[in-house]
Structure 1
Amino acid sequence: MTLITEDDIPEEFICPITNEIMRNPLMSVHGFSFEREAIFEWLQSHSTCPLSRRELTVSKLVSNCALQERIRGWCEANGMLHLLRNNNSTAEDDPCDPRHRLVLGICITKQLEEKLRLRQRLQENHVRRQQRRVSRAMALVLRHRREHEGSGRSHQHNSRGVEVGN
């Protein structure tokens, strides 16, 4: 019997976050697969894919059943099924577990809070820009008035608002 080493495990079976064989792989919209528990944990504190650095949310992850079956088949063929057993099973391992929904809800809530903070910052920046524009316009109006008042000329306007001479 040939001994299997870590180097013999196909690279596509290894989670890039944990560097361990995936038991329950999820695939991102960017085409990368991660162990469910690891990517959920990552997304609790990040809003991007750990590999592509592009925006990623929990809602953009899908179970990678094809990869999961290839991993299971390889482990079975090589007498390595023990790699798929997890003595510390968590809610993230079973999408039907109500605790899974709680973890998923926490991830989504954190991502929504981050988006809300960004939106508020954008709105605050927009308001500040508008206030600066108004201040500059007011300064121009006041400067224009002072220049005309200082010239000693009095301006009269007709009923249509057109300036008429003295």
Structure 2
Amino acid sequence: MVTRPTGSNEPQPSPAADWVPPTGSWASSAARRRNMQAIRNRDTKPEWLIRKLVHARGLRYRVAAKPLPGLRRTADMVFGPAKVAVFIDGCYWHGCPEHYVPPKTNPGYWSDKVARNVARDRDTDQRLAEAGWTVLRFWEHEPSEDCAARIAAEVEKRRNAARKGTAGS
């Protein structure tokens, strides 16, 4: 670890400059490592746009939250009482049938990584459905207004069904 004395104006070496990839690491260089660390896993532009539109419709939700306590996966938006989990999937990381392009660099690793992501997505969908949740998945390229409208409609539908179910009890 590189320590930087406070108040020093002398140039300090970058931690990435001294970085050496572990044996068998997928990060082939310090530059690749920095690039991969900079990729966001939440608060992406598509997520922000959809959240803004849903919020403007008067709906409130939790961001990057676990729908089920025992499940080590988070949804981009969670409407707890309505039991609606929303995922906005990136075209590359989740294997969009329209936009996914297999990588040219280290294709074995990255193609397997995307395949594991897709399998995990299907498993998440199944587990949430078994627990009574509605799962909504959108691709990052889908129009934000359409996504927000579908989310609002599903949340309202689930809320109304819950009200009717409790009113008859």
Q: TM-score, normalised by structure 2?
A: 0.28
| Structure with higher RCO (Cα < 8 A, 6+ apart) | 2
When you count helix as a share of all residues, which structure comes out higher?
Answer: 1
Larger-gyration structure (1/2):
1
